[in-house]
């Protein structure tokens, strides 16, 4: 006869088992994604017209990390008519989804406040010779 404690333990163990999908094995979620890891992933995305990553350009306004592994990002573009307006948010989402413990990513493009050069990091200003 099983005690209630061992039954709960078995259920917990079962919930932690990885499962298989057509894309491969999915490991169980283990916690909130690392903000540093999410920022590193975002920093791999570059505007094709500017040789600086979008994080250093100051295009990321907010990063919200949730306990269930969801990540929500608010970003902007250098201008509303930016030729990369369609592809940059998709690239950001795809980069974030590769981070450990991320279960999903949502990227919203916002226009308020408008981006200006004061949002750029010192590294970005140096790389673009804008000091």
Summarize pLDDT for 70-120 with one digit per residue, the tens: 999 999 998 888 888 899 999 999 999 999 999 999 999 999 999 999 999
Q: Buried (b) or exposed (e) across 72-107, using 16+ Cβ within 10 A?
A: ebebbbbeeebebeeebbebbbebbeebebbeebeb
Contact status, residue 121 vs residue 56, Cβ threshold 8 Å: yes
- For the beta carbon of residue 123, count every other beta carbon within 10 angstroms: 12
Q: What is the pTM of this model?
A: 0.75
Q: How far apart (Å, rounded) are the C-alpha atoms in residues 55 and 10?
A: 44
Give per-residue pLDDT as tens, 26-63: 655 567 899 999 999 999 999 888 889 999 999 999 99
Q: What is the DSSP letter of 53?
A: B
pLDDT, averaged across the chain: 83
Q: Which of 10-14, 20-24, 57-61, 69-73 has the lowest mean pLDDT?
A: 10-14
The pLDDT value given to residue 131: 72
């Amino acid at each position: 006869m099983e005690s209630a404690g061992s039954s709960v333990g078995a259920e917990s163990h079962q919930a932690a088992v990885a499962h298989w999908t057509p894309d491969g094995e999915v490991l169980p979620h283990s916690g909130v994604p690392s903000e540093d890891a999410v920022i590193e992933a975002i920093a791999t995305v570059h505007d094709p017209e500017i040789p600086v990553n979008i994080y250093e350009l100051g295009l990321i306004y907010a990063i919200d990390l949730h306990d269930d592994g969801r990540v929500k990002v608010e970003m902007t573009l250098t201008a509303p008519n930016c030729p990369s307006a369609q592809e940059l948010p998709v690239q950001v989402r795809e980069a974030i989804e590769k981070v450990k413990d991320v279960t999903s990513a949502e990227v919203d493009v916002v226009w308020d406040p408008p981006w200006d050069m004061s949002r750029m990091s010192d590294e970005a200003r140096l790389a673009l010779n804008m000091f």
